[in-house]
């Protein structure tokens, strides 16, 4: 018997049976004409009541997945391809999350139905959105960016365990503590920034000093700091970290690495200061930013960045879903050289 239920789950047993059978049919494990187990057989196999199986079969019949023949029992009907229902749960909306989603949706089937929710890196809202939508979607596509305290991370793992592995898709961050075989397309913040800076070594070496402005309150600021520190010490790069604000004056000949979004105050302030000091960006000073989006091609006549490939991340997630390949893939991270650096 290929149907399984979890008696400890908060999802009602009849809904679990419906979900299991629908998946067997949509994935063509059970093809048109396949005879389903009798109610008695399924009750005995799953250790559930006959009323549970009766209710599940009734729903499946009403939804057009199965039918009944007198004297034969229930069988799989010929069904039209059902539209996939996908819950997209993002922490925040940004330029690069927009590109990630656009790439993901572009590579999914055209009739896929998307529902988007934003939890603003708040654990209570994160839990609410997941619990109230369990059993309602075919896939749950999530960017699990939440505070890295042990207490909250343990809660994140506990919440995500409620989603069946075959329906879970993690984007932008992997979770080592989450067991099971699920889809994960992620970046490795500490090692990625180190490798990206290695790619940018020729450009960095043009300047006598690299000034790094970290993201105040960033979830991954410490990881990025470690990766940058590792690179600078290994390459003997003269550098300094700043975690508060842009200095009152820029120094000609030096470079500035801003670990914030493309239109955050730090970048705007730095561009204004360079203009006031008559410093030409890309020649008198270098500016390097973090995280790619299409607007970077326009900002300051081309903003150089270190970034994971968000378009590729979305594409790979869609391919993994369509091919039903539950795999973990580290996304490409690269230095994109433009005018400012």
Residue holding tokens 């009739």?
Answer: 111
Sign of CA dihedral 195, 196, 197, 201: positive
Taking alpha carbons only, the member of 107, 102, 146, 106 closest to residue 116 is 102
The three-state DSSP-derived secondary structure of the chain is CCCCCCCCCCCCHHHHHHHHHHHHHHCCCCCCCCECCCHHHHHHHHCCCHHHHHHHHHHHHHCCCEEEECCCEEEECCCCCCCCEEEEEECCCCHHHHHHHHHHHHHCCCCCEEEEEECCCCHHHHHHHHHCCCCCCCEEEECCCCCCCHHHHHHHHHHHCCCCHHHEEEEECCCCCCCCCCEEEECCHHHHHHHHHHHCHHHHCCCCCEEEECCCCCCCHHHHHHHHHHHHHHHCCCEEEECCCCCCCCCCCCEEEECCCCCCHHHHHHHHHHHHCCCCECCCEEEEEECCCHHHHCHHHCCEEEEECHHHHHHHHHHHHHHCCCCEEECCEEEECCCCC
Task: Report how far residue 170's alpha carbon sits from residue 184's, in angstroms, rounded to the nearest whole number.
Answer: 5
Count CB-CB contacts under 10 A for residue 284: 15
Distances (CA, A) of 58 to 37, 43, 222: 14, 15, 54
Kindly report the length of the chain. Answer: 341
Query: Under a CB-based contact definition with an 8 Å cutoff, are residues 286 and 341 in contact?
Result: yes
pLDDT digit string (tens) for the chain, length 341 residues: 588 899 999 899 999 999 999 989 888 889 889 999 999 999 999 999 999 999 999 999 988 899 998 888 999 987 666 789 999 999 998 888 999 999 999 999 988 999 999 999 999 999 999 999 998 999 999 999 999 999 999 999 999 999 999 999 999 999 989 999 999 999 999 999 999 999 999 999 999 999 998 876 788 989 999 999 999 999 999 999 987 667 788 999 999 999 865 446 778 888 899 999 999 999 999 999 998 888 889 989 999 999 999 999 999 999 999 988 888 999 999 999 999 99
Domains assigned to the chain: 13-76 (1.10.10.10), 85-187+311-330 (3.40.50.2300), 190-308 (3.40.50.2300)
pLDDT tens for 122-168 read 999 999 999 999 989 999 999 999 999 999 999 999 999 999 999 99
Is 285 in contact with 253 (CB distance < 8 Å)? Answer: yes
Residue 49, φ and ψ in degrees, nearest 5? -75, 160
| Measured CA distances, 318 to 36, 107, 241, 289 (Å) | 31, 6, 38, 28
Q: Is 27 left (phi over 0), alpha (psi -120 to 50) or beta?
A: alpha
Largest CA distance in the chain: 89
Which of 67, 49, 52 is closest to 20 using CA atoms? 52
The residue among 134, 108, 110, 129 whose CA lies nearest residue 9 is 134
Q: Which residue in the block uniquely carries the two structure tokens 């979830």?
A: 219
């Amino acid at each position: 018997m290929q149907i399984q239920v979890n008696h400890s789950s908060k999802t009602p047993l009849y809904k679990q049976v419906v979900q299991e059978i629908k998946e067997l049919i949509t994935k063509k494990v059970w093809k048109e004409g396949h005879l389903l187990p009798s109610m008695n057989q399924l009750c005995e196999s799953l250790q559930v009541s006959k009323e549970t199986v009766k209710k599940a079969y009734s729903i499946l019949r009403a939804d057009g997945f199965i039918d009944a023949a007198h004297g034969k029992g229930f069988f799989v009907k010929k069904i039209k391809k059902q539209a996939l229902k996908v819950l997209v749960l993002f922490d925040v909306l940004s330029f690069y999350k927009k590109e990630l989603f656009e790439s993901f949706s572009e590579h999914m089937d055209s009739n896929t139905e998307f529902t988007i929710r934003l939890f603003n890196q708040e654990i209570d809202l994160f839990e609410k959105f997941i619990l109230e939508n369990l059993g309602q979607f075919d896939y749950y596509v999530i960017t699990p960016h939440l505070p890295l305290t042990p207490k909250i991370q343990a809660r994140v793992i506990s919440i995500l365990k409620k989603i069946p592995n075959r329906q879970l898709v993690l984007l932008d961050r992997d979770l080592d503590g989450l067991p099971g075989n699920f889809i994960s397309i992620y970046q490795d913040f500490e090692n990625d920034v180190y490798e990206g800076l290695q790619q940018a070594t020729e450009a960095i070496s043009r300047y006598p000093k690299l000034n790094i402005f970290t993201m105040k309150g960033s979830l991954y600021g410490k990881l990025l700091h470690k990766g940058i520190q590792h690179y600078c010490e290994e390459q003997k790069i003269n550098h300094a970290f700043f975690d508060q604000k842009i200095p009152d004056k820029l120094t000609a000949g030096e470079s500035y690495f801003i670990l914030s979004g493309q239109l955050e105050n730090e970048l705007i302030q730095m561009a204004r200061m360079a203009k006031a000091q008559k410093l030409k960006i890309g020649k008198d000073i270098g500016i390097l930013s973090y995280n790619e989006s299409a607007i970077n091609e326009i900002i300051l006549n081309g903003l150089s960045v270190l970034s994971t490939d968000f378009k590729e991340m979305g594409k790979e997630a869609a391919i993994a879903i369509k091919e039903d390949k539950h795999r973990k893939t580290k996304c490409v991270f690269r230095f994109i050289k433009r005018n400012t650096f």
